[in-house]
Structure 1
Amino acid sequence: MIIESTWHKSSYSRAETNCLEAAYMTTGGAVVRDTQNRSLGYLEFSAMEWSAFLVEVKSCDL
């Protein structure tokens, strides 16, 4: 797995509370990690999973 860009912090994250970062992969998917616990690793999502997640978020169903 190759991460093709830098990590991006969620615009909904606050400095002192729940924070997430995401980065895109060269395969079209994405990885997500906890900003405050970066050393614990990340979750990897395929392009299809990431796309479905974004559709749901944009429709405000989550």
Structure 2
Amino acid sequence: MRRNMVAHQRVDAGHVWVKSSRSAMEDSCVEFTDTCEGVVAVRDSKNSTTPYLRFSTDSWKNFISRLRDTDLSSLNEHLQGGH
């Protein structure tokens, strides 16, 4: 997460799940937790009973790093119906 973001946290099933403050007002969000087994679990924040995705800690760090380094404006335009 970026340093200027404050995360929202909640405890569920013995894990602290984290969701970015930037997604607090959005319906399409994910939250994540470090399972202490070298695995990061990611799930839909709206439905915490559904199965979650599991990533190795290194894979998760690489994914987040790539997101930070990528200009997502064209993807956002596409998702909003632009071309």
TM-score of the two chains, using structure 2 as the length reference: 0.57
Give the 4+ runs in structure 1 shifted more than 3 A.
none
Task: With a CA cutoff of 8 Å and minimum separation of 6, indicate the structure with the bigger relative contact order.
Answer: 1
Which shifted more, 6-15 or 17-26?
6-15
Alignment-derived partner of residue 60 in structure 2: 50
Ranges in structure 1 where 5+ consecutive residues have no aligned partner: none
Instruction: For 1:6, give the aligned amino acid.
Output: V
Q: Which amino acid aligns with 2:40?
A: A
Of structures 1 and 2, the larger Rg is shown by 2
Aligned length: 60
**Aligned residues: CA RMSD:** 2.4
Provide the C-alpha distance between the structure 2 equivalents of 1:36 and 1:5, rounded to a whole number of angstroms.
Answer: 17
* Map 1:1-62 → 2, pairs under 5 A: 5-61=15-71
Q: Which has the higher strand share?
A: 2
